[in-house]
Structure formats: C-alpha cells, structure tokens
Amino acid sequence: MKRLNYAPWLFLAPFLLLFSLFTVWPLIHSMFLSMQQTYGPGRTEWVGLHNFKFLLTDPLFWKATSNTVKFAAGSLFIQLPVALGLALLLNRPGLRGRAYFRLIFFAPSLVGMPFVAMLFAPIFARHTGLLNKTLNYFVSSWPIDFAWTQNYVMSALIIAALWMSAGFNMVYFLAALQNVSRDLIEAAEIDGAGAWHKFWHITLPEIMPIAGFVTLLSVIASFQLFELSYIMLNDSAGPDNRGLTIVMYLYQTGFEAGDLGYASSIGWVLAIMLISIALIQRRILKRHEDR
C-alpha cells in the first residue's frame, strides 16, 4: 500500500516540474514585467502602471485590435457558416464518396499556418498572382494590390484562413450532426416540418454544445493571429500597419524593439480580452440551454 503514496507524484513529476518552471513562474513574472520597461532581456527599469496607461492611448495597439477584431468577425460570420454548410451537405444520408470529400475539405488544415501564408502570398501577388490574373479575365483590367488597401489586406487574410480552417471545423460539425437523433428528425418529418424548420428547431439546438465549443476555439485562435499576416506581408505589418494584429504588435515591441515589459502588458490585455470572450460565450450558451 505504501508505494501508492508516491507513485502518483512520480507520474505527475514531469508535468508539475515543467509546468511550474515554464508556465506558473513566467505567469507570475509577467505581472512584474508588465510594470517595467526593458531594453532587451537584460536591462530593465520600473515604470509602474505606465505601460497600461500608455497602451490605452496607443494608436498602434488600437489599430492592431481593430484589425484583429475584423479578422475574428470574418472567421465567425464567414468561416464557421461555411464549415457548417459543408458538414450539412456531407451529412446527407446515403451520400456517395463522403470519405473522399471529407478528406479533400480537411486537407488544407494539415498545412500549417506559416506554410498557408507562403502558399497564398503568390496567389495574392499583384501582377503574377492567380487571383488577379483570374479576375482580369472577368472583371477589370486593373490588378488589385492586396497588400495595399486596408480592406483588401484583411480580406486576403480571411480568405486564406477560410481555406485553411473551414474543413477542420467541418469535421467537428459533422461529428455533432451524426449524433443528432434520427428519431427526432423523423418525428418532425411526419409532422410535416420543412427542411428549414427541421434545421432551425431540431438540428441546431442538438448540435449547440459542440457548435459553441467550435465557435469559442475559432474566435480565440483568431485573436492570436500572427504568422499568416506576418509572413504574407514579408515579415512586417504591411504598409501603414494595415495587417498589424495584437500578437504581431506584441512580437514587434518585445522582440524587434526589445521592450519585453510593454510586450507583457499587451499580453495581459489580450488575455483579459480572451477570458471575457470565453465568459460571455458561456453565458450565452447557458441561456440557450435554459430555454
């Protein structure tokens, strides 16, 4: 019996050691760090709450936030409906070739974010890009510079992310749809319910728990956008910071300008945003369940 007392701690040792050293300690340390200004990792100066005060009036931070929110809205209102739509199409009983379609739609999510950026940069290129050349056939004779106009930069990022993530989220939706009880649907059909009615009143409430989870993960991931924008815009935020995101601003201040203190305050504000989103989302889901 005695060995049972230390065995659990031996099994947990790698997690507890590494977690304390590389998560708990940096987390505590970052609170102090966020009240300092640093010049590289070695030299620091105590500035109190100045970083946070400055952050609230920092136009670059607000630019980054507004860009990030636009991108998150894109994934919320475009990418998730597309993912759900694909799942609904694939969920049709007796559909032939389902496994192949699923594999094709899922394939892009195997391409990591940095490589998606490298794959799409040439597609959006001004003169040689696939998209501009194709558009020229149909619409205008003028190539669009996707890196230049504010709305085009964000659209390009949303399109690339749509390609990458729609199939990934589709897999979750499909798993949820396959758990919707056939009996409920059949009962509704006998009652003469139309397709729209069935979807709105039976399918959607049934998949709500997983849909809520997928939505939350997508929004949280969108708020941490970095590589896609950074690599597509050639290691920068683009002209006039049109592709700047919150994490990119954190990266630039911390690792290009060397102020780890200010970077930590950006990190904390981001963490507060994400936790608030998670809490709001939980309340919405709860209210939905109570109904």
| Shortest CB 223 distance to other proteins, Å | 8
CA distance 107 to 212: 24
Kindly write down the DSSP assignment for every residue of 237-284, as one continuous string.
--GGGTT--HHHHHHIIIIIS--HHHHHHHHHHHHHHHHHHHHHHHHH
Q: Near other proteins by CB under 8 A, which window of 38-46, 54-62, 72-80, 196-204? A: 38-46
Q: Which residue of 2, 3, 182, 283 would you call a contact of other proteins, by CB under 8 A?
A: 3
CA distance 60 to 69: 14
Does the footprint of other proteins cover residue 193 (CB under 8 A)? no
**CB-wise, 23 or 181, nearer to other proteins?**
23
Considering only CA atoms, which of 261, 239, 200 is closest in space to residue 52?
261
Q: Which residue of 49, 122, 284, 286 would you call a contact of other proteins, by CB under 8 A?
A: 122
**CB-wise, 9 or 196, nearer to other proteins?**
9
Does the footprint of other proteins cover residue 123 (CB under 8 A)? yes
Considering only CA atoms, which of 169, 177, 181 is closest in space to residue 75?
169
Q: Are 248 and 237 in contact (CB under 8 A)?
A: yes
Does the footprint of other proteins cover residue 182 (CB under 8 A)? no
Does the footprint of other proteins cover residue 187 (CB under 8 A)? no
CA distance 74 to 69: 9
Q: Which residue of 2, 48, 59, 92 would you call a contact of other proteins, by CB under 8 A?
A: 92
Which residues in 144-163 contact other proteins (CB under 8 A)?
A: 163
Which residues in 236-275 contact other proteins (CB under 8 A)?
A: 246-247, 250-251, 254-255, 260-261, 263-264, 267-268, 270-271, 274-275
CA dihedral sign, ordered 278, 283, 286, 291: negative
> Total number of residues binding other proteins (CB under 8 A)?
86
Neighbour tally for 40: CB within 10 Å: 11
Q: Which residue of 46, 53, 62, 112 would you call a contact of other proteins, by CB under 8 A?
A: 112
